[in-house]
Structure 1
């Protein structure tokens, strides 16, 4: 999860159920603007593996929602309930959960927008402990009211707790037509931690069988999606996009691809990082032992790129060597981060990320972000883990395609403010 300068991992509950309203294109795809299947386990399939979601009808044009880029996150707007209430959720490729804060929410973190009130919606219904959806959750518990309760705990001590429910999600297509679908989602009643007051919940795009993407699957043409994330501090009136289905395939000049690595944990999108070049100087990910496949995961919900210290240390040292300025020292706001004082954007070296079979070039826009006025910090951080996290700062201004059928991720340099 998703807070600048915090690493969030080690999830106790790697679950959620979420499916948003969709619109199909002529070849089965659809598009949602950002503000990051046919599985028989999906809550929208019955015992006969028949899809039980309910669409009003399909439309040949794209489905879109408003984007807000705020505090290094990308918030997608959807409307839930009857009458509809607007929800802004963090788009996160590092998890499967979809949830929003609901009334009553005693002890919840403060949010600016009104919380969703189930009692004011005519289409809301709770999910019982005996349901198939509840049995999919390893850590699910049964409330005294026989409701399916979930708990999602993050490494920074943020907690999302609530009950599973079914509800109608409504979105607007590019032609102005309304598209709606019954979903299962998390109604949060006790959410605490590092969430900010503009974030009303989360939309999980992970690889688990109950994520947003997995539940859509071949219904919309193919099991793939793509995203084009905006750079940090982009004007919030500018939208970026995420697309689902056949239309989301990333092709054309400049596209490079790397294999997705399947592991026991199905949620993260693992890829293999061989090393990073700072200018012309190559820094290997692992110089002392055999390179492990799937040593990095792609996470739109984590702003910074976080790498094992034995790779980060020589990488940061080389970045510092190639910058003709003295880094900041003895500033409590900076701490141990590699930061510089400058009146303009830092003119740092170009970094080339060497994934297996794909070289991705990062400009200073990706690698140095403002900590405060006149201070720019290296947008990477070290950890004592073995697996790195490729965060959303580094993903900005790339059209990135996650193809779960051919098991590859594709990158295409793109001005996402123009998409």
Structure 2
């Protein structure tokens, strides 16, 4: 059955539907799939490949704005970082909370890091936000009941010979009250969302001299998507979360690593998947949690070789949603809980000025010190 026929049938039935950090992107309030997915029963993909990680300020990005001001980009990054920290359950300061409220609606569906890939047979080139806080691959699909603006052509599932919708009787899907197909639903902050059909499709990823074809990849074909921001957006998300439904979870070797470029080193970074994601040196275990986030224990912070005055012993014993330190591709700036931030700021102030820090400036970046004499950089 063609995907447009399935969509029409469901529409009739439903009538009314709906770091240490590294980088800014979507802030999911909830990712849900009409699927149990304790483990994917589809064959996992035993592959190894590398792709470009493109920043929105890079001329390689389809969303590059040559007129964007550096101050505006910094402000967007800060507001998005605070919003994501708020989402992750971090106890941000009262100032951070007031900034979020004052700037409403916060533009939390950012486009800082995107990946280029192709979908379908024949392949259609598209882009997706690389997001470790999302657990689903999804993109806007035609025929579309409601889609937001995007600057590149839409993917049409009717035109792909490899597209297959998953029936609600599939082994990875709960029975669905909306008809015969398995559905997904992703909520984001500020009333943004994506809804559609859980399906399989051929996805082509790769760069650096080669491409990798991934067949029968589970993804969300988004036919009802909302975003309060009227600017064109990336067509969807490449979920990199720690769940079996994400891009990472569908690989036989569920591992990835990435390199973020600086302005002086190039226009893009690299993200490595599977066996290509080699690392060296000692590692640190991830904290278990129910939300598929990448969390680490935070055991201390040092300034000039001295620990800050804060007891971290109970910090990592907080409830699972609030303990530890989240590594997140969508958070451009490191965000600390207020007591830790104040202890760090106080230590830096004594190190640099030999005195207590002054009152907060009424500016998004509360303090940014670049002092070559002491080699201290806090932003």
For the residues of structure 1 that align with 2:169 and 2:373, how far apart are their CA atoms? 55
Selected match of 1:44 from 42, 45, 58: 42
* Matching of residues 5-404 of structure 1 within 5 Å: 8=27, 10-11=29-30, 13=32, 41-45=39-43, 63-70=49-56, 73-135=112-174, 141-144=176-179, 146-171=180-205, 174-176=208-210, 179-193=213-227, 197-217=232-252, 222-231=253-262, 238-251=267-280, 255-263=281-289, 265=290, 267-283=292-308, 286=311, 289=314, 291-292=316-317, 295-319=324-348, 329-330=361-362, 334-335=363-364, 337-339=365-367, 347=370, 364=377, 367-368=378-379
Distance in 1 (CA, whole Å) between partners of 2:35 and 2:310 is 33
Pick closer, same or farther for the CA change 1:3–1:280 going to 2, 3 Å: closer
Equivalent pair of 2:217/2:250 in contact (CA under 8 Å): no
CA–CA distance in structure 1, aligned partners of residues 172 and 348 of structure 2: 48
Partners of 1:192 and 1:328 in 2: CA distance: 37
Q: Is the 8 A contact 1:224 1:246 kept in 2?
A: yes
Pick the structure with more helix per residue. Answer: 2
- Provide the secondary structure at the position in 1 that maps to 2:172: helix
What's the secondary structure of 2:344's corresponding residue?
A: helix
Cα shift at 1:103: 2.0
Q: Secondary structure at the match of 2:223?
A: strand
User: Against the structure 1 CA distance between its residues 161 and 65, is the aligned structure 2 distance closer, same or farther, given a 3 Å change threshold?
Assistant: same
Q: Is the 8 A contact 1:142 1:149 kept in 2?
A: no
Aligned equivalents of 1:150, 1:249: Cα separation in 2:
33
Residue 338 of structure 1, CA deviation = 0.8
Unmatched 5+ stretches in structure 2 = 1-20, 58-76, 78-111
Shift, 1:201, TM fit: 1.3
Cα pair distance change 1:43/1:348, threshold 3 Å: farther
**Residue 223 of structure 1: how far off its partner (Å):** 3.8
Report if the CA contact (8 A) 2:23-2:330 is conserved. Answer: no
TM-score using structure 2 length: 0.64
- CA shift in 2, pair 1:191/1:286, >3 Å: farther
Please report the RMSD computed on the Cα atoms of aligned residues, expressed in angstroms. Answer: 4.1
Using the TM superposition, give the Cα deviation of residue 69 of structure 1 relative to its aligned residue in structure 2, in angstroms. 0.6
Residues 201-232 of structure 1, C-alpha deviation per residue, up to 9 Å, x if partnerless? 11122221222222212xxxx4432111224x
* Partner Cα distance (1:286, 1:226) in 2: 31
Give the gaps of 5 or more residues in structure 1: 18-38, 46-50, 341-345, 352-361, 369-419
Q: Which protein has greater RCO, CA pairs closer than 8 Å, 6+ apart? A: 2
Between the aligned partners of 2:32 and 2:176, the Cα distance in structure 1 is 12
Seen in structure 2, the aligned counterparts of structure 1 residues 4 and 168 have a Cα distance that, compared at 3 Å, is closer
Q: How far apart, CA to CA, are the structure 2 residues paired with 1:278 and 1:84?
A: 51
SS of corresponding position for 1:87: strand
Deviation readout 1:150-188 (Å, 9 max, x if unpaired): 211134433222211111112456555663422121111
Q: Residue 306 of structure 1 aligns to a residue in which SS?
A: coil
3-state SS in 1 of match to 2:118: strand
**Cα distance, 1:40 vs structure 2:** 7.4
8 Å contact 1:16–1:185 — kept in the other structure? no
The Cα shift of 1:272 comes to 0.2
